[in-house]
Structure 1
């Protein structure tokens, strides 16, 4: 559910990878320091990034979206 501005910002593949990696590293750090609440939040954010940036991301928006 990215809007047009977000889609333009995350158009380069490396930005999507970096954003996802940051969330994953954050989850790992929180898990190592035994903070399950924050680790769970970071895991959910990582899953959200993977879903939106790699599974549902369209390189070029379709005309159906207006």
Structure 2
């Protein structure tokens, strides 16, 4: 089971990927400001993972394309 399936059609629109990354990184900043460095680091790591999966290795596909896996 994958933590984040980047081939899911839900992640195809750019705006959804941007919102997911922005929310996780903003949540991380909030946790640091609130004085919870453990949760800030944890959520920040999730945000960085989302950046990697949704922007670095993401390969957009057309709706009719077959599954590459």
CA contact (8 A) 2:6 2:58 kept: no
**Over 3 Å off, 4+ runs:** 61-64
- Distance of 1:64 and 1:9 partners within structure 2: 14
Q: CA deviation at 1:20?
A: 0.2
More helix by percentage: 1
Residue number in structure 1 paired with 2:40: 39
* TM-score after normalising by structure 2: 0.80
- Distance of 1:21 and 1:42 partners within structure 2: 12
1:20 aligns with 2:38: no
Residue number in structure 1 paired with 2:68: 65
- Distance of 1:17 and 1:40 partners within structure 2: 20
| Structure 1 unaligned blocks of 5 or more | none
- Distance of 1:30 and 1:42 partners within structure 2: 8
